[in-house]
Amino acid sequence: MTKLQTLIVVLMSCIYTSCGGSGAETLGPQDPSEHVDVAAFERAVSWPSPTVDVVVNLLNRYDSLGLARRGHAFFEERARRAAGEPEEAWFLAAWGLFHIQDNQSVGLLRRTGFVREGVALLDDAVALQPGLTTYLRGVALVNLPPSFGETERGMEDLRWVLDNRKDFPGGVWRGALRHLALGHEVLGQTIEARQVLELSGHVGVEHEPRFATSFSVTPANGFRFATPRLQVLGDGLYQAEAFDFGDMGFVETPEGLVMIDVGTHPDNAAAALAAVRAHTAAPLHSIVLTHAHWDHIGGLKGVDDAQVVTQIRFEEELSSIRRTEPVPFGWFFGEQPVDLDVTPDVRIDADTPLGTSREIRLIPTHGGETHDALLVHVPDADAVWVGDAFMPYLGAPFTEEGDPEELLTTIDQILALQPRQLLHGHPPLTELFTVEALDGLHDALTVLVAETKASLSAGVPLHVSLRRNVLPDVLQAHPDAVMPFLVMRTGVIKRLYDLHTGYWQADREGVETLGPTDWARAVDLLANGERGTARAVEALLDAGEAALPLEIAELGLQRHPDSTRLRQLHQRALQRLRKLHSVSDPFRFIVYSETAGTPLQPLPDPHFETP
């Protein structure tokens, strides 16, 4: 949304609410990007056989943006349609959860019975299929007022989830712990609540969401995708996940270990290698760097000396990286400096065997995130390490790199190898961008690239292209490709615009350059000062928006830096954005956490005792 449109929204919100109402009913959503995403996920969940990650992401969007009424209506219709289908229990549980949250839609005398109806729906879902449904019921019950008498039953559900944590992702552990702490708070058990809150990694600041994410981020140690673990994949293959910002792979050969990427910091690379050495005493033979990004090369000095192998364009990419150093957001990698002093011993410019008795092929590719990417193919294990070729941003968003059209060529290269498994540079990529997703993803991205290029040719502004909400019908036949496409969609569109436009845009954005001080003065005039600006921000937040109220609050604080109300609303918007992006957009989660100054501590070791 352009600054001019932002000003219009502020003005209209003041008109509709007289700069004083709650705005929840009168203002309505102004089609922000968050609601475009909601509509896309609604359509995807409406298709047959949606995957659980698509359902959970829609649920998170409703919950983060306060769209209980919309969630209630959607999941009631979807649950009724899913009767007898394998996904019926998920939809029943989501219907029950939002039915309870939507209790303000009925009169006070009807409200208790209405909530009980939601609890009954959750009970039916758990009876059908315990698991994620049990977690959702526990969350709903501990959030009820104590007068319902359901707090302890909700806590039992959450303890059951924690006792069976091996069957759940780490994010569910965090959510279960945080809501268990809430249960203790409701029962007045303050000491127990504090203990469980600390274990959940929350810091307990005002407006802090109750996260259900495996992500963590702190100013000292930076970001982690999950709890560190070594995946023993069989066939002499290992994947060290979340020891660092980037993952590290290992392949055992008769000549020794081949290490694939080395993370950001030497200590973390050393810890990953030590974890593998618990399974094999093989010496380090080679280090293959899949591309020149910080989080894949910075840990080199933490491991044994060995030949370093890269793609031929590695040093060209590294030079570009150095020009943009440091990363503009410090919470990506933490306080330790990142060492980019890497000189390859071997540079690959064609499909080349590594030279070990066990066949390992190194295949240059130019698509996806960077132009120096190197695929590592292990034919006898049907495995391919792809680095960050599928990073949704198609190049770090703060550098000039990445090419969506060449990504299609990279997908063709990978499909030609007929692998059984793909191993990526970060845990969510390995989980999402599977072999099963590639065909559908290729076809859907082809449609997206074509439509975006047509928009570029027609002079359509970027913000309009983003709101066209492209979701190709081909994805209906490829459920595994839906979530990868949705997390990649915005990055593809933005990178194509970045590649094919200059600093003057078709809607005149960039023709003149006005700074925050200029726009703050205009917003202040339109809203008639601090009070009106704060009411506009609050109205937008009540209407279920996040990014737009954050921007307006920041403009208001330019003029009124001592405004307690604007600062509180600014923090509320930031915390909403943190929760919104805590499931599927780690980069935005990092940026908003750093802006808010609010860390999220790492998850406990998987073997912790349930309080």
Averaged pLDDT in 10-residue chunks for the chain of 611 residues:
45 37 34 74 96 96 95 97 92 98 93 97 97 97 96 98 94 96 96 95 91 96 94 97 97 98 97 97 97 95 96 93 75 89 96 97 91 97 96 84 92 97 96 97 97 95 92 97 97 93 86 91 94 96 94 97 97 97 95 97 89 78
Q: What is the pLDDT of residue 367?
A: 76
Is the distance from CB of 271 to CB of 243 less than 8 angstroms? yes
Q: What is the pLDDT of residue 55?
A: 96
Q: Find the farthest-apart pair of alpha carbons in the chain and give their distance in angstroms, rounded.
A: 77
Number of residues that make up the chain: 611
Please classify residue 487 by burial: count the beta carbons closer than 10 Å to its beta carbon, then call 0-12 exposed, 13-18 middle and 19+ buried. buried
Beta pairing, strands 216-218 & 346-348? unpaired
Is the distance from CB of 287 to CB of 303 less than 8 angstroms? yes
Per-residue pLDDT tens over the stretch 538-593: 999 999 999 999 999 999 999 999 999 999 999 999 999 999 999 999 999 999 99
Give dist(CA 290, CA 310) in Å, integer: 7
Per-residue pLDDT tens over the stretch 173-218: 999 999 999 999 999 999 999 999 999 999 988 889 999 999 999 9
Q: What is the pLDDT of residue 399?
A: 81
Give the CA distances from residue 308 to residues 257, 350, 353, in Å, rounded to whole numbers and listed in that order: 13, 17, 14
Is the pTM higher than 0.75? The answer reads yes
DSSP-derived secondary structure for 406-455: HHHHHHHHHHHH--SEEEESSHHHHHHS-HHHHHHHHHHHHHHHHHHHHH
Q: What is the pLDDT of residue 9?
A: 43
Quote the tokens at residue 36. 């475009």
Please classify residue 597 by burial: count the beta carbons closer than 10 Å to its beta carbon, then call 0-12 exposed, 13-18 middle and 19+ buried. exposed
Q: What is the pLDDT of residue 19?
A: 37
Q: Which residue has the tokens 């000039």?
A: 400
- Across-strand partners of 502? none
Domain range list for the chain: 226-425
Q: What is the pLDDT of residue 326?
A: 64
Give the CA distances from residue 338 to residues 216, 222, 311, 387, in Å, rounded to whole numbers and listed in that order: 19, 12, 21, 19
Task: Provide φ and ψ at 76, rounded to 5°.
Answer: -65, -50
CATH 3.60.15.30 at 226-425, yes or no: yes
Q: What is the pLDDT of residue 174?
A: 96
Three-state secondary structure call for residue 182: helix
Which of the 8 DSSP states describes residue 509?
A: B
Q: CB atoms < 10 A from the CB of 493, how many?
A: 23
DSSP-derived secondary structure for 349-370: -SSEE-SSSS--EEEEE--BT-
Determine the Cα angle at 184 with ends 178 and 185, to 5°: 90
Residue closest to 117 by CA, chosen among 76, 175, 70, 62? 76
Strand order in the sheet with 248-253: 229-234, 237-241, 248-253, 256-260, 284-288, 307-311, 346-348
Q: Mean pLDDT score of the chain, rounded to an integer?
A: 92
